[in-house]
Amino acid sequence: MKVNGKEYRTVWLEGSTVKLIDQHKLPHAFEVATCRTHRDTAEAIRTMLVRGAGAIGASAGYAMAQAVLEAPEAAFASFLEQAASLIRATRPTAHDLFYAVEGVLQAIRHAKDPAQARQQAVRRAEQLADENANAGEAIGRVGAALLRDGVRVMTHCNAGWLAFVDWGSALAPIYHAHRQGRALSVYVNETRPRSQGAKLTAWELAQEGVAHTVIADTAAGSLFRHGQVDCVIVGADRIAANGDVVNKIGTYTLAVLAKHHGVPFYVAAPRSTFDVTLDDGSKIPIEERSPEEVTWVSGLTAQGRMERVRITPEGSAAKNPAFDMTPAELVASFITEGGVLPPSRDAIRAFVSAKRLPADSIVHHPA
């Protein structure tokens, strides 16, 4: 997508270096971070310099490819094993991360020598990134059909192109419909504690010229009650075989509100987010992050300086689960690159096991 008129992906590989848009500095500064080794890239995932299920996946794939490029021939396998463990340990919840690490490891499984493995690893990591970008574009096309002219969409956290390689999941249908000239507006939940809605989603939508209004998370219920929300679209970090969805903390509350008000609640996600090895959502690990994310807030001072401020009294405990689980019965539909699916085991199984999806045929390269 475009930033100040130039086309970008969220993360990309240049030689053996991973470049990624620094999501700590947005929306106040647009900077590209450089990760020279797989350890740097793993650290960027861990500290959320890059975040969002799809972007984490692509970054993890690139990190794994970097590890293959770095691995000494004398200890090739053990180096990769350690690297894979390091990358897997960065974030526990997003399925895309594990999908990408396995994807690269699978690709080099039958390599006849390290040179071939290096070639295959890079090719597979690039494929994973392309797949993600293509899935986003297809999700956009599929989801746009659900958005009539004048629709008021609520979204949570950031499931836009910054959370993917390109396009995004929840925001892709919005971008698609907007580019088709449909009038729409978006309520952007701030999404405390890290405020990815207020910081990243608002920034993305502003860059694309989509009308949007940021609200405190507390204001969502009131908008539903006053009939100001026509549908909710969120992304997902992992979806179990039965359709249970793990996504950013606060998603479940929106799903309950949507149910209470008869508003459709859509979850947009590519195939890589579905984890059919898990029977239901109760098995998905929920990352507990530092209480400091709740007790401190970062932003830009009036003087243009990045600053962190504490809001709670010293010594008050805080709890910070990063995700929550929304049961399948609260989901109206999944918006995927394979079409709009009902939240049923059969539909999910058929989608995940399909040999070829419409998105596979899309050719998409960043400028």
Cβ proximity of 324 and 251 under 8 Å: yes
Query: How far is the C-alpha of 57 from the C-alpha of 99, rounded, in Å?
Result: 7
What is the nearest approach in angstroms of a copy of itself to the Cβ of residue 5? 17
Residue 192 interacts with a copy of itself (CB under 8 A): yes or no:
yes
Residue 240 interacts with a copy of itself (CB under 8 A): yes or no:
no
Residues between 305 and 334 with contacts to a copy of itself, criterion CB under 8 A = 307-313, 315-321, 324-325
Q: How many CB atoms lie within 10 A of CB 223?
A: 19
Q: Which is nearer to a copy of itself, 256 or 340 (CB)?
A: 256
Q: How many CB atoms lie within 10 A of CB 81?
A: 13
Residue 283 interacts with a copy of itself (CB under 8 A): yes or no:
no
Residues between 18 and 57 with contacts to a copy of itself, criterion CB under 8 A = 27-28
Binder of a copy of itself out of 95, 178, 212, 271 (CB under 8 A): 212
DSSP track, 243-304: --EEEETTHHHHHHHHHHHT--EEEE--GGGEETTSSSGGGS---B--THHHHEEEEE-TTS
**Strands 231-234 and 265-268, bridge-based pairing:** parallel
Cβ proximity of 19 and 59 under 8 Å: no
Task: Give the per-residue contact string, 80-99, with a copy of itself (x = CB under 8 A; - = no).
Answer: --------------------
What is the nearest approach in angstroms of a copy of itself to the Cβ of residue 315? 6
Residue 297 interacts with a copy of itself (CB under 8 A): yes or no:
yes
Query: How far is the C-alpha of 86 from the C-alpha of 43, rounded, in Å?
Result: 9
Residue 244 interacts with a copy of itself (CB under 8 A): yes or no:
no
Binding window for a copy of itself (CB under 8 A); candidates: 88-96, 110-118, 183-191, 232-240: 183-191
Binder of a copy of itself out of 12, 98, 99, 252 (CB under 8 A): 252
Cβ proximity of 70 and 38 under 8 Å: yes
Q: How many CB atoms lie within 10 A of CB 342?
A: 13
What is the nearest approach in angstroms of a copy of itself to the Cβ of residue 151? 17
Residue 213 interacts with a copy of itself (CB under 8 A): yes or no:
yes
Best CA proximity match to 162, nearest among 365, 11, 300:
11
What tokens were used for 40? 């740097």
Residue 358 interacts with a copy of itself (CB under 8 A): yes or no:
no
Q: How far separated are the first and last CA of the chain, in Å rounded?
A: 10
Given 237, 275, 279, 280, which residue is catalytic? Answer: 237
Catalytic residue list contains 237: yes
What is the nearest approach in angstroms of a copy of itself to the Cβ of residue 126? 31
Could you tell me which residues come within 8 angstroms of residue 349 by beta carbon, excluding any fewer than 6 positions away? 241, 276
What tokens were used for 304? 């243009």
Q: Which is nearer to a copy of itself, 92 or 114 (CB)?
A: 92
What is the nearest approach in angstroms of a copy of itself to the Cβ of residue 134? 28
User: What does each C-alpha distance from 127 to 95, 209, 271 come to in angstroms?
Assistant: 17, 30, 14
Q: Which is nearer to a copy of itself, 74 or 317 (CB)?
A: 317
Task: Give the per-residue contact string, 107-146, with a copy of itself (x = CB under 8 A; - = no).
Answer: ----------------------------------------
Binder of a copy of itself out of 90, 195, 242, 333 (CB under 8 A): 195
Q: What is the dihedral of CA 99, 100, 104, 106, to 10 degrees?
A: 10
What is the nearest approach in angstroms of a copy of itself to the Cβ of residue 1? 15
Please tell me the count of residues contacting a copy of itself according to CB under 8 A. 61
User: What does each C-alpha distance from 163 to 168, 237, 310, 312 come to in angstroms?
Assistant: 6, 10, 27, 29
Catalytically active residues are 237
- The residues that touch a copy of itself, with contacts defined as CB under 8 A, are 27-28, 188-193, 195, 198-199, 202-203, 205-206, 212-222, 225, 248-250, 252-253, 256-257, 259-260, 294-302, 307-313, 315-321, 324-325
